[in-house]
Amino acid sequence: MAIPVWNQPTGLVGVRNFDQGVPYSMGAIAMADAEHPCYSLAVPFPDNSVQNISVYFAQPEQIFKRKIFPFITISREFEPAMGRWMNVGQLEYKIGVAGTGVMVNGVSGFGTMTSKIQAFPYDFTYTISCYHRYENLVQPILAKLLKLWPPLGKLLVIDSLGLLRTYEAYMESPIVNLQEMLDSVSRLRGYALTVRVEGEIDLIDTPITLDTVTGIDLNIYRQDKIK
């Protein structure tokens, strides 16, 4: 079934929009630290204290230079979602251009229409990892991540017009154990979970304006039903 064609302009989304949507959906706050850019996520602990855990985006390379425990990292991969590919030329929106109103057989419409080709579907896979020195201290962070990313959830994304969108997000693969213990000092406790987002990328970002009879869009209400 074809996607709906909106009657108002929509913004553009790209890889960066989805990357920014991950900490935004988690409720993490951007920290103003030019030397060590990261986000901060408030995590409650069993002793009723709340700690602000650093969240680093570790894609495409590790940007954090100092590992101050505890911390969270986010890495990303993405690929075309051929199973969700629509017909070539499917429109995302189609709107009339102001000042081009026409009348056809007593029905008003527009002589010039502006439209944009739909975004192309892509699947984004995010691996979110949490680390601490001790098992009892990393568990509250893992519990927080599991609440933020349930088996079936939503990713919040803000497009180029500042409009909020939601995309389906699924937890995939087992919760991976990242524990290491080289010695009593260099111990590492951690877990990683993987989230797949059914997203999209605007590869054709220039709207198309047609000033021909094919651009006339009559104001007739129509309800299509699939039986």
Question: What are the DSSP calls for 116-129, one per residue?
Answer: EEPPEEEEEEEEEE
Mean pLDDT of 86-109: 64
Domains in the chain: ranges and CATH? 15-85+120-202 (3.30.2000.40)
Across the chain, mean pLDDT equals 81
pLDDT number for residue 122: 95
- Note the pLDDT tens digit of each residue in 49-74: 999 999 988 765 555 556 678 999 99
pTM of the complete model: 0.80
- Note the pLDDT tens digit of each residue in 126-173: 999 999 988 999 999 999 999 999 999 999 999 999 999 999 999 998
Reference 129, options 53, 60, 45, 48; nearest CA is 53
Rg over alpha carbons for the chain, rounded to the nearest Å, is 23
Q: Which residue has the higher pLDDT, 108 or 188?
A: 188
pLDDT number for residue 31: 83
- Which residues lie closer than 8 Å to 8 by C-beta, 6 or more apart? 93, 95
pLDDT number for residue 227: 41
What b/e string do you get for 133-154 counting C-beta neighbours within 10 Å, with b at 16 or more? eeeeebbbbbebbeebbeeebe
